[in-house]
């Protein structure tokens, strides 16, 4: 063997071999879901991805059908003591209150401004809707985006004292990355307001605005001072909850998902529809059973009457009967939130 | 120089050099838009892409903002003598007529079944909507997809005697490919029915269902015989035309497009909104001025009163005043349709 050949081999072949070996070793050793404790729940995810991506498996999912949907509140980030969007609405209400003296004597505004959450809760969905319309409409989509972005820069969660954008669940962030690494297209499908979420979904979840499905108020195109503008109107256009979730998915995506993740009764129909698929499917529900590190509510939890993320016994029964996987935050998750970054 | 070195050089370096030279030559020589005649129109497209993708240009468009929207009927494929979806509705009406004896004496069904297009046109948007509801609703989304797919397999255009799926404009197919090769995400934004279009957009345009925005009827989630089903209801949910187009775009995509292509008054607001962008923008209108190879209508055309793809003088005036580009099918397009494949 000539000197030149050895040089060639050293320069080209050996590093190439090394790369191959490193890649194999890396694939075998690296855990794509390090914040998930070993067990049936984690294994269900790994098994689903293995089956869905194996083109020799009869349950193989072709690339164009790799649609995965995630509820947001309570599934991807914390929803207690109240939905993040409601916290925004209450702060916004206070900011606007000086221009609305009538709110001091009119419900649900009075309770909201007084911080009387019990009376506010009693005003029900209608009351919440009134708060949303008063704080989310009457401006352009651009102006609304700016208001929301500014709020996220300073608002903090009352218990964890961290920006809401840091309260996404670390195991779910890993799951989103893992799905995308296997060519699944990840969507948020939430009862929350679509334009509210879109301000932070790219930064927090790596999900672009076009992969967010949510509830929406009506929007009107108009020319204002010679400039085109989309103006937000105080009227509901679409309620992306319960049976609305499959409808929102078919409207925005046009395909049945192969995996669906939720945490409450509002996600039931989305999981039922996903479960009806004929290729590999995965249906999972996050169960909030960790009062120490986050909150405990739902079946067996400490807050059975919560208005935020109701997980009824009948949903649990359906999950058990249909082999959906219930994620125990307490047992399945080694970490809840990412390390603090600011 | 040893034999081994020469072999190494011949085997590795020379082909690599050749590849580099071939790639450069290819980039300089290959025309991405061969069916577009040289001229200002073609140059406007090339200039837009050059500016939008040059990260040293102040009008550079970052990857996440490369959203390009195309109207469908009359912009991407032929819309005369009637919208393809209307041809489908009329065929479907005939197939369903035996179960609806009342249609023989009720308008607009009577005119539609008799082929009396003039009376049908006189029934206006309300009449057309009645035909659509009678033929597009009352079944599951899956069943509707099958009906549409089956229709496309056999239906042929009355003048060109070719399947409708072969009547996409060859220059626009090249434009779609060229945009995607430069990392633009291509969307259809059409007044046509979203579920009707989605059946063929991947095959014809390379556009997946999740990048189609269109008009929609209401859909309801229900459990039928123990199986989840999305049932199509005979009620309009969204009219994706005129001011509805920007609204449909913000709803589905959440971003202002940087390029918009249309051909009629229904596309005006979409182009106005796109034109208001601050980065590179491109607004184009297809003008049907080629009665020999396709049809002539719109300003100066032979069918000023057409109900399919009205291009008014006021739209032309606005295009000229605002430096939008009007594509002359006659002068700018070397080919109209792709070569026949079946």
B209 interfacial to chain A (CB closer than 8 Å): yes
Residue B87: its pLDDT value, please?
Answer: 96
Please report whether residue B143 resides in a domain: no
Task: Tell whether B51 lies on the interface with A, counting CB pairs under 8 A.
Answer: no
pLDDT digits (tens, 9 = 90+) for B188-220: 999 999 999 999 999 999 999 999 999 999 999
Domain that holds residue B231: 39-80+169-332
- Residue B205, in any domain of the structure: yes
**Residues above pLDDT 70, as percent of chain A:** 89
Q: What is the mean pLDDT of residues B59-81?
A: 97
Q: In chain A, which residues have their Cβ closer than 8 Å to the Cβ of B237?
A: 251
Token reading at A20: 């191959």
Q: ipTM greater than 0.85, yes or no? A: yes
pLDDT, one tens digit per residue, over B19-42 is 555 555 555 568 999 999 999 999
Give me the pLDDT at residue A16, please.
52
Q: Is the pLDDT of residue B301 over 70?
A: no
In the block, residue with structure tokens 């249909």: A322
> Is pLDDT of B78 > 70?
yes
- A216 contacts in B (CB within 8 Å)? 251
- Give the pLDDT score at B16: 52
State the pLDDT at residue A300.
Answer: 74
CATH number at residue A171: 3.40.50.1000
Q: Which of A22-31, B37-46, B151-160 has the lowest mean pLDDT?
A: A22-31
Query: pLDDT tens-digit profile of A37-72?
Result: 999 999 999 999 999 999 999 999 999 999 999 999
Test A223 with B252 for CB contact under 8 angstroms. Answer: no
Tell me the chain A residues in contact with residue B243 when contact means C-beta distances shorter than 8 Å.
220-222
Residue A95 lies in a domain: no
Residue of A240, A141, A250, A263 lying closest to A189 (CA atoms): A240
Whether residue B194 lies within 8 A of chain A, CB to CB, comes out as yes
Separation between Cα atoms, residue A53 and residue A318, nearest integer Å: 28
What pLDDT is attached to residue A1?
38
Examine residue A261 and state whether it is found in any structural domain, yes or no: yes
Q: Which residue of chain B comes nearest to A210, CA vs CA?
A: B253
Nearest to B193 by CA among B129, B256, B270: B129
What is the predicted pLDDT for the residue at A8? 45
Q: How far apart are CA A92 and CA A100, in angstroms?
A: 12
pLDDT tens across B111-138, in order? 999 998 888 888 888 898 899 999 999 9
Helix, strand or coil for residue A90? Answer: helix
Q: Is A116 exposed, middle or buried (0-12, 13-18, 19+ CB in 10 A)?
A: middle
pLDDT in tens, B229-287: 999 999 999 999 999 999 999 999 999 999 999 999 999 999 999 999 999 999 999 99
Task: Please state, in angstroms and rounded to a whole number, the distance separating the CA atoms of residues B167 and B204.
Answer: 9
**Which pTM was predicted?**
0.91
Across the range A272-296, mean pLDDT stands at: 97
B183 within domain boundaries: yes
Asked whether residue B51 is domain-assigned, the answer is yes
Q: Check pLDDT > 60 for residue A240.
A: yes
Note the pLDDT of residue B7.
45
Helix (H) or strand (E) holding B178: helix B170-181
pLDDT at residue A232 in the model = 98
Of residues A267, A242, A268, A245, the one with CA closest to residue A256: A245
Nearest CA in chain A to B227: A276
**Closest Cβ–Cβ partner in A216, A228, A237 for B272:** A228
Distance CA A311, CA A263 (A): 7
Domain annotation covers residue A248: yes
Q: What is the pLDDT of residue A319?
A: 97
The reported pLDDT for the residue numbered A24 is: 53
Q: Inter-chain contact A254–B2, Cβ cutoff 8 Å?
A: no
- With respect to residue A165, please indicate whether it lies within any of the assigned structural domains: yes
Among A11, A210, A224, A267, the strongest candidate for a mutation testing the B interface, having the largest count of B CBs within 10 A, is A210
pLDDT, mean of residues A300-309: 71
Q: What is the DSSP string of A48-88?
A: HHHHHT-TTSTT---GGG-EEEE--BTTTB---SS-HHHHH
pLDDT at B28: 54
Helix axis angle for A141-154 and A84-96, nearest 10°, is 100
Q: Which of residues 173-192 of B touch A (CB under 8 A)?
A: 185
Q: Residue for token digits 């914390």?
A: A78
A306 φ/ψ sector (left φ>0, alpha ψ -120 to 50, else beta): beta
Q: How many domains does chain B fold into? A: 1
More confident residue, B25 or A291: A291
Nearest Cβ partner for A228 among B12, B222, B273: B273
Is the pLDDT reported for residue A20 higher than 60?
Answer: no
For chain B positions 121-140, those within 8 Å of chain A (CB to CB) are: none
pLDDT-derived band of residue A7, with 50, 70 and 90 as boundaries?
Answer: very low
Mean pLDDT over all residues of chain A?
A: 91
| Residue-level pLDDT at A25 | 52
């Amino acid at each position: 063997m000539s000197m030149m050949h050895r040089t060639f081999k050293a320069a080209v072949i050996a590093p190439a071999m090394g790369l191959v070996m490193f890649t194999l070793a890396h694939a075998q050793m690296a855990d794509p879901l390090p914040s998930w404790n070993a067990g049936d729940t984690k294994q269900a995810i790994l098994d689903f991805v293995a089956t869905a991506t194996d083109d020799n498996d009869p349950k193989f999912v072709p690339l164009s059908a790799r649609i995965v949907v995630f509820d947001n509140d309570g599934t991807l980030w914390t929803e207690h003591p109240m939905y993040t969007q409601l916290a925004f609405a209450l702060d916004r209400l206070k900011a606007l209150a000086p221009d609305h003296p009538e709110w001091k004597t009119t419900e649900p505004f009075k309770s909201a401004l007084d911080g009387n959450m019990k009376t506010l809760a009693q005003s029900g969905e209608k009351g919440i809707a009134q708060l949303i319309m008063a704080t989310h409409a009457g401006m352009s989509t651009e102006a609304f985006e700016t208001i929301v972005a500014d709020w996220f820069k300073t608002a903090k969660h009352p218990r964890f004292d961290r920006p809401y954008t840091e309260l996404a669940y670390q195991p779910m962030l890993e799951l989103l990355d893992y799905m995308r690494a296997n060519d699944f297209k990840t969507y948020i499908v939430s009862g929350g307001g679509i334009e509210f979420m879109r301000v932070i979904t790219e930064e927090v979840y790596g999900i672009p605005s076009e992969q967010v499905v949510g509830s929406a108020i009506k929007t009107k195109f108009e020319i204002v001072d010679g400039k085109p503008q989309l103006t937000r109107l105080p009227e509901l256009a679409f309620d992306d909850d319960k049976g609305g979730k499959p409808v929102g998915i078919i409207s925005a995506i046009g395909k049945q998902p192969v995996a669906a993740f939720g945490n409450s009764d509002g996600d039931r129909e989305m999981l039922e529809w996903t479960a009806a698929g004929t290729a590999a499917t995965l249906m999972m529900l996050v169960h909030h059973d960790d009062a120490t590190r986050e909150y405990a509510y739902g079946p067996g939890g400490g807050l059975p009457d919560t208005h935020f993320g109701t997980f009824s016994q009948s949903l649990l029964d359906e999950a058990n009967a249909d082999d959906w996987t219930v994620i125990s935050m307490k047992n399945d998750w080694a970490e809840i939130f990412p390390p603090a970054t600011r």
